[in-house]
Amino acid sequence: MSEAKFEKAVEIIGALPKDGPVKPTQDDQLFFYKYFKQAKFGDNTTTRPGMLDFTGKAKWDAWTSVKGTSAEEARKKYVEKLIELLKASDDEESKKAVAELEALE
């Protein structure tokens, strides 16, 4: 999985409108978060957030769950999941985004 394809996927996710046809669930969002962090920074070596930081703990746990995953594999999983979500929405913007991603190596 090329870095360019991964960066394009990150760009697409960042540009998704909140009221658009593609609506990632919280589980999807954590999926993207953990594989983004793993691809960019490797294994999580940070301290787990405190017990009242529920969002922080969920993110920390998600990232830690992919410990040992290579950056290449993390990029691949991130892009594959985005393509799956885009194809499921079946709107013109999503089709265009899928075509852009699939054109990159």
Residue 2 is encoded by which pair of tokens? 């090329």
Q: Given this model, what pLDDT does residue 98 score? A: 95
pLDDT, average across residues 21-41 = 97
| CA distances, 40 to each of 18, 33, 84 (Å) | 25, 11, 22
pLDDT, average across residues 9-17 = 95
A 10 A CB-CB count for 81 gives: 17
In this structure, CATH architecture of domain 3-18+25-45+53-103: Up-down Bundle (1.20)
Q: Given this model, what pLDDT does residue 74 score? A: 98
pLDDT band of 78, cuts 50, 70, 90: very high
Q: Given this model, what pLDDT does residue 4 score? A: 94
Distance in angstroms (rounded) separating the CA atoms of residues 61 and 97: 30
Instruction: Say if residues 1 and 76 touch (Cβ distance below 8 Å).
Output: yes
Q: In the predicted model, what is the mean pLDDT of the chain? A: 96
Query: What is the share, in percent, of the chain residues with pLDDT greater than 70?
Result: 100
Q: Is the pLDDT of residue 90 over 90?
A: no
Place of tokens 């089709």: 95
